[in-house]
Each structure stands twice: as C-alpha cells, then as structure tokens.
Structure 1
Amino acid sequence: MNSMFRVSVLILLMCMYSLGFTQDIHIKSKSEHIQILKDSSFTNQITIHFPYSDEPRLYPIFYDTELEKVSDIQLFEIKGRRLKKITLKKIKEEQVNLDYITSQKVKSVFIPAETEVQLIYKVSCRELMYFSSLPLFSYNQIDTLNYEIDVPNEFVLSHNTIHKDLITSHSIDSIHSEHGYQWKVKVSPMKVEPDPLQFFGIYKNMKVPLMRVLVMPKSYENQSTKYMNDWYFKNVLPQKGLNTAVRQKLDELTYNVSDSLEVVSIIYDYVRTNFKYVAIEIGMGAFIPTHSNTVFSNKEGDCKDLSNFLSEALRYKGIHCDLALAATFDHISDCDFPSLSSANHVICVAYINDEKLLLDPTDPIHVQGTPVQSLQDRTILIVNAEGGDFYKVERFKPEENKIKYQLNLKINPTNDLIEGTVQIDYTGVSGNYLRRIQDYEDQKDFATFSNTFFEEILGNQKLSNLVISDVPKELDFKSDISINGKTFSDGMNRYLFIDFLPRLIDSESRETLIEGTYLNNTFNKIVTAKIKLNEAIDLFEPIAYNYEEEGMLLRLTISAISNLEIECYYDFSLNHIFVEEENVDPINKILNSFKTIINEPIVLKKLKD
C-alpha cells in the first residue's frame, strides 16, 4: 500500500466517523431479493429490520453512480404483524470524494428511535457481472441474513464459498420452476470490525466467509471460466491500440535492439519509471482499463491501465502478451474461481520462448523473470482469445532469498565493551521489505530508518557509520557496532550473553507471531558472529542446537576457534509466506527456542597459567 493510499484511507475513515457510518447498529434481520433480468441487468430489493432502540441511527446506502440506481426507499413502523409507513426525513446524499474512488455516492437514511423499524429500498444495476459476491459477514450485528436470487431459464448461476468454517449457521437451497431457478441462502453472519474500505467492496487482509458468484448465459453452462474470460476480453478490446506518437516513442526506446528479453526489459522499466501509479477505482472502473493512448498521454494509471498499456507496447514490438486478473496476498480470496470478487489486481503476461513472464508495472522493484512477490502461491486468470486459463504463480525458494549477517567483534580489555563491524547482505527478494521503504524515502531518511531498524534487530545495540550499497539483485549494509553489558568476568570464568544476535525474522519484532501475519517471502538466513576475547579460555566441545519443523529449519552452533576467539553461527530456513493455523505453533516454537538459547549466558573457563 503506497503512502498516498494510506492518507486517503485515513481521510475516508474520518469522514465516515463524522457521518456516523461506523456506529455499531444492531439489525434483527436483513434480506436481499436479487432478480436477474433477461437483458443481463439485475435488481436487488433490500429489506432491513431494525429492533427497538433508545437512540436514533443513521444507515448508509453506498452505490456506484455509473452502474447502479437506488430507488423506492421506504420506512415502516413494525406493529406486531402490521407495517405502518413512516414519512422519510430528508435523505442526505453525498459524493464520496477521494482520489481513488471516482463513482461512489452514499445516501444516509435516518432511522428513528423508540420503535421497531423496517427499511426497504431497491438497487438496480445494468451490469450483470457486477453481481459477483454475497458477503456472509457484516460490520453490524445481524441476527439473520437472507439472500434470494431469481435466475431465469436463460441463465445459470455458479458459486463458491470461501472460509465456510467461520459461519455458525449456513444453508443453500434451490427451487426450479417453469421460469427458472430460485436460490435461497440463509446465514447467521460473522461480525467483523468495520473498516472504511469494506463499504466499497474492498476486502484487504480479511479472512471472512464470502460466497463468490457468477451468473452467465445458458450457452456457457459448465464453462464459467470461458464466460468470465470472454466478457473481460470483449470489454478490454476497445481500450487497445497505439497511435503514431506512442509507436514512435517505443521505436526510439528499442532502436537497434533485437533481443526479445531486452525489449521487454527496456519497455517494462520505462513504464515503471515514467508512469505514475494512481491507486484504486471502484466498480467496472476497477477492472476495465483506460485506453492505452490516454494512459501514455497522461503518464499515469492504476494496475489495469498500466498493464494494458504495457501489453500493447510489447505487442507492437512483436512480443505476444495477455492481461491477467489476479488476487494479491492481502485480498479476501484467491483468484481460483471466475468472479470479479476473486480479483483485486491486473498484470501483464508476456511469452518468450514458450515461457511466461509475469510483469507488474505497479511494482517498481520487481525483477523481470521472477515471480511477482505479492502473487506468490496465488492463482491468476490469464485472459486470451482462446478462452482463458488459470495459472498458479510459483513462490520463491528459500535459497533464492539469502540474508547474511557477518559480525566481526572483539572485547575491549579496558571496559568489557564488545566492539567491531557488522556486514548485512540481502539477495533475491529478501531485502524487498527495505527496498520498498527506500523507494519512497530520500537517501538520508532511509539511512536513518535503516540504522534504527538494524539496531532493533541486533538487540538494541549501538550502530554508527552505516554505509548502504544498492546493486542489482543485492542490498548491502555495513556498520560499526558497540555492544554494551553483554560480558563480564568473575576471575575464574568469563560470561558472555549473545542475545544481540539478529532475531530470526528481520521484518517481525514480535516474539510470538499471530495467525494471519504476512511474512513477505521465504528466505534462508545465515548469521556468523566471530568474537575475539581479551583473555585466553579453555577450548570446549562445540555446543549445537538443531530444530526442524515443516517448512522450517534452524541449526545453531557455538564453538571455540582458538583460545582467544569463539564463533556463534546459525542457519535458519523459512519456507512460509503466511503465519496460518497449520504453522503458527511450529513457527512460534522455533522462535521461542531460539530466544531461550540466546538468553542463556555462555560460561567460558579461563585458561590457567
């Protein structure tokens, strides 16, 4: 998430608090009756039952002005089994005015106090593909949530539910009649903490139950992937093509270059360097790109705009390309089911020598030819003229992402300070956590951040004279280090504490990780700390610790190189990207074991004269 996006979210959150949209409203029941119409539009009549409350409430209706129309808003007082119509107070309507939301409005309906109330309203939408999900969760307390979906015989409905295990009560039935099918879904929805983005269907870093749906013409029955592909392919087609000015620029960039990989590299870097990323749009604008010529003229766009332009630019230079719908690591679901709710990202796929090259022009530090970091282990839907296909993105192997710490230290004989140097080398994507900060910080601020960051990793010891070296595929740091209070002598023995050794996971300062933590990438971390002593010691047998769990390995040794030097070494390999239910306990077991080891003092016997 870039800094502009963070600021926009904060502004949105403040606006919603001021309007009362984040209040916790108790809802007795909510029903949505969705009717699919033969012209490929649909309507949704929503009925909400508010129980008695001492306080008035403000209920928000968010809708997309480009695709949806809200009508027939009615309020009723519930008296037993009778409904008595209530005169609506003036409905306040406001534009959601933020950089990354371009077509959203909100209607605020006043719900009176001291009575049971029923709110009914209708939402009409002209684009059937916009009906892509049924949330089985809520940011309000809802006792019962009901969905009814009427699908005429000309259409069929396909569905897939994620995280069903989080629902206490859930049922799906379908009834066939001469006119079509009626689907009924009843659920006791999971309550989640409100987040402003949820009001717009943006579910970041959430693990909640959601039914993904796709309604398609009968002719596509059992071909849901092909329907999704064909729909997107058809909608993107008018946004393609390059004018003379664009072609001239591309010819200039690749003059006298014939190697396809080099052409890809030149144009990919040109787009990432010269085009501004403008965050997110809502509705169809989140998926259908701006015309490639307009993107070039404005030198800006979001993921779909930049990926579409990149694919057109490469295609013009003779390189076969497709667009792909994708779900990044923080999306609610994987893109393994054909529905707009399955994806939150668009990338470009180029083909060189029958190999797929994944290209994400919104990722300024992605290395061409490697997996896109945010899509590791995720599925993408490659959209093409042949009907499309799903493709699983590989993850990086731990050995591809090395982290090396080399500490060369000595004990000062006058004050028992441990002093020396530390060299830190990141290869692969192991340093991407820092590269992303480096990408939007100036050199001085990044150096300050890095110094503080590594001091914390190294047990809050003092670093000075930090030097940063950034070369292709490597990010290196070198610094002087002063370690205080970690060694002392009692005349017979020297005691050494090694809790200044770098923690196992650089990017996580917590000693115990919680489920849902994103670890960025797999990695292999090797730490070597050589410590020259200020007095001779007896040699001792190496002390070794070995821990192995599924996807993790830790080997740690403490040994005497000579009577005047010891070495502390560990090799840690982590093959997980997320902390999940299956691995949270093993990960924390290794973290805690490591902490216990380095907190114990090493007792070094002095060499007798």
Structure 2
Amino acid sequence: MNKIILFLLFTALLFGQAVAQKINYDVSLIPDSLTEKAEAVIRNYNHEFEIHSKSRATEKVHLALTVLKRKAIEKTILHLQYNDLTKYRQVKGKIYNSKGEKIKDFDFDDIRDISLIENSSLFSDARVLYYDPEYEDIPFTFEVSYTRKFDGLLNLPSWQPHNDFDVSVESAQFKVIHPKDLDIRHKTQNFNGLFLENDNIYQWKITNSKAIASEPYSKNKNQILPSVFLAPTKFSMEGWEGEIKNWNTLGKWDYDLFQSSQTLNQKKAEIFKHLTEDKANDREKIETLYDYLQNNTRYLNIAVGIGGWKPQDVSFTHEQGIGDCKALTSYMYAMLDAVGIRSIYTSVYAGENAPDIDVDFPSNHFNHVILCVPQEKDTIWLECTSQNNPMGHVGNFTDDRHVLLHTENGGEIAKTPVYDKKYNQIVTKATFKLDEAGKGEVEIQNTYSGNKFDNAAALFYSTDEKAKKKYLYKLIDIPDYIINSYNHKAIEQAKVPTIEENISATVNNYGVKMGNMLFVPVNLLSKISTVPPKLDKRKNDVFIRRSYIYTDTIIYTIPEGFKVKHLPENEKISCDIACYSSSTTEKNGNIIYVRNYEKNKGTYPPDTYEKVRQFFKDVSKADAQKIVFEKIN
C-alpha cells in the first residue's frame, strides 16, 4: 500500500504539474535547442485514455502547438474524425500571439461538422469536425482540448508525441488507465522517454525533445517517429466480442464476422455454376467469375457502426451490384465457393507508400480487404474493388507486405507477392525527325509493365479524353510541344500486366541554334535534373521501396544540311541503390541514344546517402549533355 501511495504521489508531481498550473506560451521562453531546425514546437501535450469496459472508453486530449514557420500553419487546422462508434463531447481552444497573449477562443459552435467521404459513399457514418483558425501572424500558439467517447474497442489510439517531422516537443505525456481485469498490450518505437507502470496505469513522458528532420529516401514517418502503440486483449464491437491474444484470435473474430454475411442462396449459386460449367480448370473459372464481378458491380462505401468491419450481406451485393472492399471481396468469395473453389478473406494495410504492419505486435493495423485464392502451383490475389485490374495483378497499392488471412481455424500471417525487377519496366522508344531550326516531329512508344503498369492504367481505362490529354501534357517534360495523337493498348500475351502507349507530337524550339551550330539535348524524355539536398549528418537508413528499370532508345535524324560536330560522352555511373549507363552513336544518318537506369529495392545504412547524392549529381550532369550539329557550308 505504501508503495502505491508513493507511486501515485510521484506521478502526480511528475505528470500532473503541467496541467495544474497555467502555462505561459510566450515564444521567447522556448529553449533554443527546440527551435533549431523546427517548424513548430509542441509546448504541452497531455493525452489520457481510460478504458471502462471491453466496449467503452474515454479519451481526453490537450495540445498546445507553437507555429514557428509558415509551412507549419497547416498543422493548426483541426481534423477530428468520428463515426457512430466514436463521438466528441467537448472541443474548444484558443489562439495566442507571440507574447503568449490570448487572441481568440473557439468552441463547438465555430467548428464545421461534415461528411468525410460524401462524394464517394452511398451511405456512411464517417464524419469530420473541421476548424481552420485562419490566423497567420507567426509565430503564434494554437491550443485545443477535446473529449472523445468510444463505443467499441477493436482499435485503440496510438501516441506520437512529435506528431510529425520537424516538430520539437517541450512536454508531452500519455496516460492509459484500464480495469484490472482487462489488460491491454503496448509497444514503443524509438522512444527514449520515461515510462511508469503500476497495476492498471501506464504512463509515458518526454520533455525537451529536439525536432526530428525529414530526410529523403527514408521510411514512412510512422516507422521513424517515437510512438506508443496499444492493442486490447479483449474487446467488443456492437455485441461482437473478440480477443487479440495473437494473430490467430484476431483472424478468427474477423472470419466469424465475415462469414455472417455469406447469405447467397442455392438458387443464386446456380448462376455461377452455369457461368463456369464449360471451363477447363479452376483458373479459367476464377477468371470468368472475376470478370463477372468487374462487369456487374461497382465500388461504393456503405459503412455504419459495425459495418466499418462487417461486410454487408452477399445477397444485397448480388442484387444491388454495389459494395465496399469488404462487401465485394465477400461476394467474390461466395461466387468461388459456389463452384467449389476455396479462397481466403484477407486484411491488408494498403497504400503505395504505406508501411508494413508490425508482425510482432498483433493488432488491427488494416484499412483494406483483398481475396487470396490458393492454387496447386501458385496463389492468385484478387483486388475486388477494381473494375479494370487484370486478374492476379498485385500493384503498388497492396504489393510486398504482410497481410492477415482469415480462416476457419483463425488468422495467419502471409505476404503479398512482388514483381521481379526485370518485369518492372518503362521501356521508351522514340524517333525524332529534326529540322534545321531544332524542331520536328516525334513518335514515342512507352511500354509499362509489372509495378509500372499502374503508371499508365488510369490513362488506359479512362474514357475522359480531355483529362487524358491534360495528364499527358504534364507527363512529358518538353518545354514546347503539341500532342497530335495518342493511344493506349494492353499487351495480352505479356508475362505480367503490360500497357503500350503511343504518342505523336510536334516539338518546337527543342534545339538551340547559335551561328552555324545547333545544340540538341540528348535526353528527350527522362532526364533527372534534381539532386537530393546535402545533409549535415544523415540519421535514417536509406530506404528504396521498389526495384525497377527505365530503358530509353531515342533516334534523332540528323537535320538536312548539318553534320555531327560533337556527341555526348558514354557514361557508366553506379552506387548501392542504382546504376546508370548511356551511349550515343552515329549510324546511317541518325544519332542513336540509349539510356538505362535501374533502381534496387532495399534498406541501406545512413552513410550510403552521400554516395546517392553524388550518383544523382553525376546522372543529372550526364542527362544534361547535348548533341552538337554543325551546318555544312
């Protein structure tokens, strides 16, 4: 008992003093070490999360942030997301000037309450409280306090005291209270602050923590910034009770939830048996049903309450032809089940640059659902929300990451595939008929394959010709040109999804004429002109998410009445993450330029960065070379 009393007295003094007294937000009081290389400073951040039961909790947050640089003003715009299972009870705040004097107050009456996804949902309870203080007289301090009630505890809040790169922290603390019979799990990442624990209370605190700089070629900020992650051991969501002792128990809960939507009756199942009765094997059946899904459904989010996790009934999806990722994946599962093909409902944290989940910390990391279809010799992965995706194509949205398979026996961790580098290519072939003024006609063929298929897929499938042409003008980095025609087509027999793009254009003022000389940039379409910035001392690993190859072959006709005066030097440049080569030759009245650029996925030590900088400096110099033609007298 004495030890508990001493603990409570100590933590009250240590963690409670910032709340007990009024804080002076005068900017001149911030230590110099916290303003150095910082865009903003968190002056005080108190975050408390109290769990009352398996389904109910209360969160209280008080945050004061001083804006030092103009680009940090956006951090004062309030976006508080909620739905039927999480509700805000109090929101209020103040704005202070540089001397710490209050300028204005705001409360619920000043805050807009809007639908979060009103343009893409048929019906959803997802909403956001939005407030822009519209104050720009920097430096200033933005202070906000709010209380949020939770009804359903599958997802617990995490704590990130810095909340972003280039933000320092004067004082931040996180307190978690839970019933003694309802423990939670927690894990820290890159956290060097203070941690205290006693029975049913966990507390974390940091003070005077310098800003963490954003560095090029780094992992996602959520993998770098100091963080505390929480997960329940037992939870309840609108009567659906579950456990997260491990991945197996979480997967079993989600499996039972998903199975409750499998309401396809025998009569409807016969439709899919009839569709596939003449197919020779399972792969053909899968392809037929996937094609049916794409042609007869479209994505619409329908999520209210438990609907954020539980798919709508399959019979509803079948009749209405609409659904979100859960519903459409569940529908595809039901179709395959009707013809005797096993598939597995699969949760994934999707996003082109999304971090991988922490496989050592089971919790609900996920934001998307796909379908895994095991076959005898391989596994087919289906993105069920796309009306255009080639069957089995795993693009940048879900490739190369851990996922949770939901089976009748519980959850299992697996990993989505990734294309070999040799398939991830953009191959460009172009011919440029130059005239004596340095302008001319160019024919360009770009072939996109593997994970680069996604680069052209939106153009290929779009029916908005005006938008397509506008995008192409942004895509091609030539100062003055007119697109005369373009088209896209799929290469059906390719080993991986492939799109061919053909563009015909008139290029003006590409070459520069000076006296008898005509100077023509050798790299027409893919030059690298930016170099990563110099850093005082690199701290993070260099991270490359995906491998790929860019190959250019450009043929320039020698303008009539000119001869070659100078050709660019052939180049070979390499570093740990990439390699580059280029060659320029004269043959049969043409100049042939061949360029190859390869990037290698991986995690490399921080000292690699300076070599990477040098690589790009050398490549940008090589890409900037010019062919020089001389007029024949």
- TM-score w.r.t. length of structure 1: 0.72
C-alpha distance in 2 between matches for 1:336 and 1:461: 48
Q: Supply the distance in 2 between the matched residues of 1:569 and 1:453 (Cα, whole angstroms).
A: 24
Cα contact 1:34–1:43 (8 A) shared by 2: yes
Matching residue's letter, 2:291 = D
Matched to 1:602, the amino acid is: I
Deviation at 1:400, TM superposition (A): 0.6
**Cα deviation digits, residues 343-366 of structure 1 (max 9, x gap):** 111111111115322111123443
The one of 40, 47, 52 aligned to 1:31: 47
Q: SS at 1:430's partner residue?
A: helix
- 5 Å matches for 1:97-246? 97=115, 98-99=117-118, 100=121, 102-104=124-126, 123-131=148-156, 133-138=158-163, 144-152=171-179, 154-162=181-189, 164=190, 170-176=193-199, 181-187=200-206, 209-217=226-234, 223-244=245-266, 246=268
**Aligned residue in 2 for 1:372:** 395
Percent identical residues: 14
Q: Is the 8 A contact 2:460 2:488 kept in 1?
A: no
Deviation at 1:310, TM superposition (A): 1.2
2:358 is paired with a residue of what secondary structure? Answer: coil
1:457 is matched with which residue: 453, 470, 477?
477
> How big is each residue's C-alpha offset from its partner over 1:240-276, in whole Å with a ceiling of 9 and x where there is no partner?
2312453133234323224111111122222223212
Stretches of structure 2 lacking an aligned partner (at least 5 in a row):
1-39, 67-75, 94-105, 134-142, 213-219, 236-241, 493-497, 534-539
Q: Aligned-residue CA RMSD in angstroms?
A: 4.8
| Corresponding letter in the other structure for 1:243 | N
Report what 1:384 is aligned to.
407
1:156 Cα deviation after fit? 3.9
190 and 94 in structure 1: CA distance in 2 versus 1, 3 angstrom threshold? farther
| Contact 2:551-2:596 at 8 Å conserved across structures | yes
**1:599 aligned partner:** 624
Q: Which amino acid counterpart does residue 31 of structure 1 have in structure 2?
A: H
Q: Is the 8 A contact 2:46 2:62 kept in 1?
A: yes
- Whole-Å Cα distance in 1 between the matches of residues 449 and 65 of structure 2? 59
Amino acid in the other structure paired with 2:489? S
SS at match of 1:426: strand
Which residue in the other structure is 2:420 paired with? 397
Mapped contact 2:349–2:366 kept (Cα < 8 A): yes
Match of 1:475 in 2: 500
Is the contact between residue 460 and residue 489 of structure 2 (CA under 8 Å) also seen in structure 1? no
Q: Residue 5 of structure 1 aligns with which residue?
A: none
CA deviation map 1:148-200 (0-9, x unaligned): 323445444323345x3xx7x63333224xxxx422222469999xxxxxxxx
The DSSP-based 3-state class of the residue aligned with 2:329 is helix
Find the aligned partners of 2:89 and 2:566 in 1 and give their Cα distance.
Answer: 82
Q: CA deviation at 1:477?
A: 0.7
- Superposed CA offset, 1:540-580 (max 9, x none): 99831011222322110111225x33211111122349999
C-alpha separation between the residues in 2 aligned to 1:137 and 1:280? 34
* Residue 259 in structure 1 maps to residue 281 in structure 2: yes
- Give the SS at the match of 1:312: helix
Whether 2:526 is the aligned partner of 1:503: answer: yes
8 Å CA contact 1:546, 1:555 repeated in 2: yes
Distance 2:42 2:430 in 1: 58
5+ residue gaps, structure 1: 1-23, 53-57, 76-87, 112-117, 193-202
SS in 2 for 1:369: coil
Paired residues, number: 532
Q: 1:420 to 1:30 in 2, by over 3 A?
A: closer
Contact 1:421–1:478 (CA<8 Å) still a contact in 2? yes
Tell me the CA shift for residue 326 of structure 1.
Answer: 0.7
Letter of the structure 2 residue corresponding to residue 302 of structure 1: D
Assess if the C-alpha contact under 8 Å between 2:42 and 2:162 holds in 1. Answer: no
Q: 1:251 to 1:378 in 2, by over 3 A?
A: same
**Counterpart position of 2:238:** none
Deviates more, 1:60-69 or 1:88-97: 88-97
Deviates more, 1:311-320 or 1:208-217: 208-217
- Counterpart CA distance in 2 for 1:295 and 1:582 is 53
Aligned pair in 2 of structure 1 residues 121, 459: CA closer, same or farther (>3 Å)?
closer
Distance in 2, matches of 1:411 and 1:47, equals: 65
Structure 2 CA distance for partners of 1:128 and 1:354, relative to 1, 3 Å: farther
Q: Which residue of 2 aligns with 1:561?
A: 587
**Displacement of 1:403 after TM fit?**
2.0
Instruction: Give the conservation status (yes or no) of the 8 Å contact 1:377–1:392.
Output: yes
Aligned: 1:445 with 2:461: no
Query: Which residue, 561, 564, 570 being the options, matches 1:544?
Result: 570
| Counterpart check, 1:466 vs 2:489 | no
Q: Match of 1:133, SS?
A: coil
What SS does structure 2 have at the residue aligned with 1:526?
strand
**One-letter code of the match for 1:457?**
D
Question: Does the Cα contact within 8 Å between 1:538 and 1:607 map onto a contact in 2?
Answer: no
Contact 1:325 1:335 in 2 (8 A): no
Letter in 2 for 1:378: R
- Per the alignment, residue 526 of structure 1 pairs with 551
Distance of 1:541 and 1:108 partners within structure 2: 58
SS of the residue aligned with 2:521?
coil
> Do the aligned residues in 2 keep the contact of 1:212 with 1:342 (CA within 8 Å)?
no
- Of the three residues 341, 344, 351, the one matched with 1:322 is 344
Inter-partner Cα distance in structure 2 for 1:278 and 1:231: 25
- Cα pair distance change 1:302/1:147, threshold 3 Å: same
Structure 2 length as normaliser, TM-score? 0.70
Counterpart of 1:214, as a letter, is A
Q: Which moved more, 1:301-310 or 1:399-408?
A: 399-408
Report which stretch shifted further, 287-296 or 27-36: 27-36
What is the distance in 1 between the residues matched to 2:154 and 2:487? 53
Deviations 1:399-425 (A, max 9, x none): 213322222234435x45444533333
Quick one: distance in 2 between partners of 1:516 and 1:59? 31
In 2: Cα distance, 1:225 partner to 1:577 partner: 27
Q: Which amino acid aligns with 1:430?
A: K
Q: 2:600 corresponds to which letter in structure 1?
A: N
Question: Which of 388, 402, 407 does residue 430 from structure 2 map onto?
Answer: 407
Q: 1:290 to 1:580 in 2, by over 3 A?
A: farther
Deviation (angstroms), 1:458: 4.3
Give CA deviations for 1:298-335 in whole Å, capped at 9, x if unaligned: 21111111111111221222111111111123576422
The answer on whether the counterparts of 2:263 and 2:314 sit within 8 Å (CA) in structure 1 is: yes
